[in-house]
Every structure is written in structure tokens, then in C-alpha cells.
């Protein structure tokens, strides 16, 4: 079924997933490690947002992730997902409170059940922006996420590549989870 929200239609709602998995460099341990997590996501529809001939429909997006048994989330994101039905452009603009802002983009059909968005540091269309400290010590050079949408469930598989001062090679920082509708 397609709607004004195109491929984002199936993401509207409240979601939870307890099978999240992160891999990243853990400063406390001095090594790369896995972090399983519980995630809670809300996606509230809005639109249209009109810019001249463009009419975007979007989702107001919040997510938070917890390590087992902890009270405070260790990772959060706020932002917007946007759909341009005229061009098939899909955008995810979000902020991570480490001082990182990402505008990832891609294209999809209106009834797509799978689509990919990408961003890269320095990219003129879909950039990653970061503050001074991260730019010098742990720069997010690229980000790519693939979304798969099912019935009352959706999943993401994402990969951030970091240039870290502790390593000569780029460091992979992948995250994935499957979310189930709770509201
Ligand atoms: C599901 C999404 C994500 C989760 C759960 C997550 C989780 C984590 C964790 C656990 C760390 C390690 C902190 C430490 O122990 O030192 C970390 C570091 C980091 N992440 Fe993520 N992350 C996510 C997405 C992203 C994205 C999308 C970006 C960038 C576009 C990003 C950029 C970074 C950076 C720059 C660091 C800092 C590395 C450092 O401390 O030197 N992360 N993240």
C-alpha cells in the first residue's frame, strides 16, 4: 500500500526491539567490543512541508538505546525522516549528542519494503558534520543504513566507518536491530 509517506508509511508508530547489537571501540576496555541493547523508537507522521514545488511528508523521529539493566540510555538520536514522492528521494536527518549531525539520503519507490541511505564526511549533498574533538580524534567518515519493512516490524542494518587516532586503518562501527510495533 502506498500513501503520502511512501516507503516511510510502514515505520509510523511506536517500536521496541531488545535484540540490538553494536560494535565499537570501547575506551573503558581499550578494545573493540560488542554491546547488546534494548531500543525504543517513536515515529510521528507530519506533512506536507512545502518548499516551492516540493511537498515533503515526514516522520518526527526519536530513538534511545539501553544496555541491559542500566537506567540511562547510552545512545540517542533525534531527527526527521522525509519522503519526496515526486523524485523518490528519502532522507534521514538526525543528530547524535556527541556533536554529530547526519543528513543521509537515497532513493526508493513509493511501495519499497527495503531502501538504503548514505552519508559521508565532506559530501556536498548528504554530509556528516562533527565538532572539533571528533573531527581530530574519531571522525565518522561514512554512514550507510539499509531499512527492511515487514508487517508490524522493521529492521535496520547500518555501518559507520570511523577514522580513529588509536588505529591506522578505518574502524567499522556497525549497528543493527529489529523493531516490533508497541503502539
Ligand atoms: C544504533 C546506533 C549506535 C549505537 C548504539 C552506538 C554506540 C556507540 C558506542 C557503545 C560507542 C563506544 C563508546 C565507548 O565506549 O568509548 C560509540 C562510539 C562512537 N560512535 Fe556510535 N553508536 C551508534 C551510531 C553511531 C553513528 C550513526 C555514528 C556516526 C554517524 C556514530 C559515531 C560514533 C563516534 C564518533 C564514536 C566515538 C568513538 C570514540 O569514542 O573515540 N555512532 N558508539
Q: 103: CA distance to ligand 1 center in Å? A: 17
pLDDT score of 73 more than 90: yes
Q: What is the pLDDT of residue 183?
A: 82
Does CATH place domain 6-181 in 3.30.565.10? no
Ligand 1 and 22: CB distance under 6 A: yes
Distance CA(151)–CA(76), nearest Å, equals 25
Residue 40's alpha-carbon distances to 24, 62, 65, 94, 183, in angstroms, are 20, 8, 7, 16, 11
Q: What is the pLDDT of residue 1?
A: 44
**What are the structural domain ranges in the chain?**
6-181
Q: What is the pLDDT of residue 35?
A: 97
pLDDT score of 58 more than 80: yes
Amino acid at each position: 500500500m502506498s500513501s503520502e509517506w511512501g516507503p516511510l508509511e510502514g515505520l509510523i508508530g511506536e517500536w521496541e526491539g531488545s535484540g540490538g547489537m553494536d560494535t565499537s571501540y570501547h575506551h573503558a576496555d581499550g578494545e573493540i567490543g560488542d554491546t547488546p541493547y534494548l531500543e525504543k523508537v517513536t515515529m510521528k507522521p507530519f506533512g506536507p512541508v512545502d518548499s516551492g514545488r516540493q511537498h515533503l511528508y515526514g516522520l518526527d523521529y526519536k530513538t534511545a538505546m539501553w544496555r541491559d539493566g542500566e537506567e540511562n540510555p547510552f545512545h540517542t538520536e533525534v531527527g526527521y525522516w522525509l519522503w519526496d514522492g515526486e523524485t523518490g528521494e528519502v532522507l534521514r536527518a538526525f543528530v547524535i549528542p556527541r556533536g554529530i549531525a547526519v543528513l543521509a539520503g537515497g532513493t526508493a519507490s513509493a511501495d519499497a519494503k527495503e531502501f538504503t541511505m548514505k552519508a559521508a564526511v565532506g559530501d556536498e549533498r548528504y554530509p556528516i558534520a562533527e565538532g572539533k574533538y571528533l573531527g581530530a580524534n574519531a571522525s565518522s567518515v561514512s554512514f550507510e543504513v539499509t531499512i527492511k519493512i515487514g508487517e508490524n516490524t522493521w529492521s535496520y542494518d547500518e555501518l559507520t566507518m570511523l577514522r580513529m587516532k588509536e588505529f591506522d586503518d578505518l574502524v567499522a562501527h556497525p549497528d543493527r536491530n529489529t523493531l516490533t510495533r508497541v503502539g
